[in-house]
Amino acid sequence: MTEEEIVEIQKTWNIDLVKKELENIFNNNSEIDLLSVLKSNSFLFYELFTRKYGIQPIFHEVSFGNNYRCDFAWLNDNSDGPEWVLVEIEKPNMQLFTKKNEPTQYLNHAIEQVRSWERYFDENPHEKRKIFGAVARFRYILVAGSKKEWQEENHAKWRIHHNKNSNIEIHSSDILLRPLRTFVEHPEEFWSFAEHPYTQAPSQLQPFWQEYDYMDYWRKII
């Protein structure tokens, strides 16, 4: 990659501004403001992507049924079939556990919210094709709470057990901060994100998969 290409990537987002915005958001524990910043800065999802190159656009506020909506969704166009990633974002400093080291009502509610998506698609398999075109599998992600609280011994053990026995991955909100440092040190790693610098409206989801040859192939199979 040439120096000129790296400079163009660096121009895609105002890193200093994003850093200041996130500092305020984490200090104010604002879920709404966090969602707003994420919509405008796709690179913040860097660590949630299993593949960092050739990524597909991220869509925000994707609804299914009358009562369900994920905050963000994107396609992993894998060789073994389309994997759709559905993400729920909670308050960055949401209280996770009680003094008895039991999950709080807030954490339980967030997990149940994501589980309801899974149940919905199990009960309404035709909706998968209607909304996403074709689905080989879903990957469910919940981002909630601080790294500091998750690193407390009992909480860390709880999350290890949960992630091992559940289809829902739980990550701390700090996973959205780490790309800031990575971007400064290795901006060339974000060339694919620069092709899709911000998230797209849910109305663009169907046109996306309808026009993608990869999805056309899998729609004939699944």
Give the pLDDT confidence score for residue 66 in this predicted structure: 87
* pTM reported for the whole predicted model: 0.95
Size of the chain in residues:
222
State how many domains the chain has: 1
Among the listed residues 112, 34, 105, the one whose alpha carbon sits nearest the alpha carbon of residue 72: 34
Domain span including residue 155: 3-219
Sheet holding 68-78, edge to edge: 58-64, 68-78, 81-89, 137-143, 168-171
Task: Give the pLDDT confidence of 93-126 residue by residue, as tens digits.
Answer: 999 999 999 999 999 999 999 999 999 999 999 9
Among the listed residues 28, 135, 4, the one whose alpha carbon sits nearest the alpha carbon of residue 92: 28
Task: Give the pLDDT confidence of 18-62 residue by residue, as tens digits.
Answer: 999 999 999 999 999 999 999 999 999 999 999 999 999 999 999
How many other CB atoms are there within 10 angstroms of residue 115's CB atom?
A: 15
**Average pLDDT of the chain?**
96
Question: Is the pLDDT score of 206 beyond 90?
Answer: yes
| Residue 209: strand, helix, or coil | helix
Question: Is the pLDDT score of 65 beyond 90?
Answer: no
